């Protein structure tokens, strides 16, 4: 029997507390400080807004430079990959996990280049992990093929969401002051696209992209898979956990818990591309207000991603046509945040520099 008939909440006991908002007094002070720095007023545009946002997240102005930014990758396989929706074979996920751990991947190179640590968690890869410690939060091997069956059971959804929460807690407890969540898994853009379509009321053709570089035939297979999975997901679209059960995956569920818990822990997050964006939509449903603690790193080249940004009312920092995922876009944007913080913390004021203030015209002139 199709599990889509089992409509209803997976577990109403999984709730998040009322979330704190970033400190508006610290934000206002940071913006005031920008008017005192040796530069024309508002001349740094969004860099000024970003610095003030970090000040608000940290609750102090000027903000502290980041000391432990962390890229956290959740890896899992997706049953839909067997339907030919990706340019990569399903077994590539396990090999990519090993490559992440041994170095040489784009994510590893970018993380090192911007001074971010890297953590990898196997929550659903369809293989034995190279190190048992890597799979301490593993929910299952692979997921159901979402065009015809549920991705996870209700218990598995809860386990994955709680795994993401636990990883967020562990990172914050270890001193992480900026989090860059990411997803790795062949076929992962298909469930992500389904979730975005369900939550934004979009049609399959509006969300299906080329992702791993698929050809026209694979694109048509992917579009059909999204169409069929979306049909199964629509009856549960008002229930985030049931939606993850029906059309998500262990990585997407873990990301959802991670994003919500990061907000609970008052820790700023740089959102990556489509998969993280889909999880962000669900995290905001589970923990309203969580999005105040996030900044969109970039506009992903996947067509579903602008729908995410519009729904969350987030303006991306970069638009580089990146569609890789795996934290690449978030890592590329990290230097902008670091610069925004250091400008506030280290730039001299007019008084300190002994420079006369400019004479500004009266308001309205």
The catalytic site residues sit at 326
Residues 6 or more apart from 268 whose CB is under 8 A from it?
Answer: 53, 54, 57, 177, 178, 179, 262, 293, 294, 295
CB 137 within 8 A of CB 105: no
In 132-273, which residue ranges form alpha helices assigned H by DSSP? 154-173, 189-200, 204-207, 216-233, 240-247, 250-264
CB 181 within 8 A of CB 263: no
Q: Could you tell me the CA-to-CA distances from 109 to 105, 114, 116, 182, 261 in Å, in that order?
A: 6, 9, 10, 15, 27
Give the separation between CA 328 and CA 184, rounded to whole angstroms.
11
User: Which residue, 159, 96, 138, is CA-closest to 325?
Assistant: 96
CB 152 within 8 A of CB 139: yes
Give the separation between CA 5 and CA 252, rounded to whole angstroms.
22
């Amino acid at each position: 029997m199709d599990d889509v008939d089992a409509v209803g909440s997976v577990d109403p006991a999984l709730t998040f507390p009322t979330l704190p908002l970033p400190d508006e007094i610290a934000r206002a002070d940071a913006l005031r400080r920008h008017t005192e720095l040796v530069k024309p007023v508002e001349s740094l545009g969004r860099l000024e807004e970003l610095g003030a946002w970090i000040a608000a997240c940290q609750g102090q102005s000027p903000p502290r430079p980041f000391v432990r930014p962390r890229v956290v990758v959740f890896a899992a396989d997706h049953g839909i990959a067997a339907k030919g929706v990706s340019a990569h074979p399903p077994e590539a996920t396990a090999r990519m996990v090993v490559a992440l751990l041994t170095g040489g991947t784009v994510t590893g190179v970018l993380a090192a280049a911007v001074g971010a640590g890297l953590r990898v968690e196997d929550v659903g890869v369809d293989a034995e992990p190279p190190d048992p410690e890597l799979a301490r939060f593993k929910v299952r091997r692979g997921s159901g093929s979402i065009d015809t069956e549920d991705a996870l059971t209700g218990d598995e959804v809860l386990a994955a969401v709680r795994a993401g929460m636990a990883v967020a807690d562990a990172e914050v407890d270890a001193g992480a002051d900026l989090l860059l969540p990411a997803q790795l898994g062949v076929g992962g853009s298909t469930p992500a696209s389904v979730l975005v379509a369900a939550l934004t009321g979009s049609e399959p053709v509006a969300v299906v992209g080329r992702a791993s570089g698929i050809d026209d035939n694979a694109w048509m297979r992917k579009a059909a898979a999204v169409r069929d999975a979306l049909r199964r997901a629509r009856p549960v679209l008002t229930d985030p956990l049931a939606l993850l059960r029906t059309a998500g995956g262990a990585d997407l569920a873990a990301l959802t818990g991670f994003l919500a818990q990061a907000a609970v822990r008052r820790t700023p997050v740089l959102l990556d591309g489509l998969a993280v964006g889909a999880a962000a939509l669900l995290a905001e449903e589970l923990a309203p207000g969580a999005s105040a603690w996030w900044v969109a790193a970039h506009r992903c080249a996947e067509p579903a991603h602008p729908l995410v940004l519009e729904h969350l009312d987030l303006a991306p920092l970069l638009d580089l046509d990146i569609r890789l995922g795996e934290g690449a876009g978030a890592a590329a944007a990290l230097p902008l945040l670091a610069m925004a913080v250091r400008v506030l913390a280290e730039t001299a004021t007019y008084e300190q520099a002994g420079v006369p203030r400019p004479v500004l015209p009266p308001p309205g002139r």
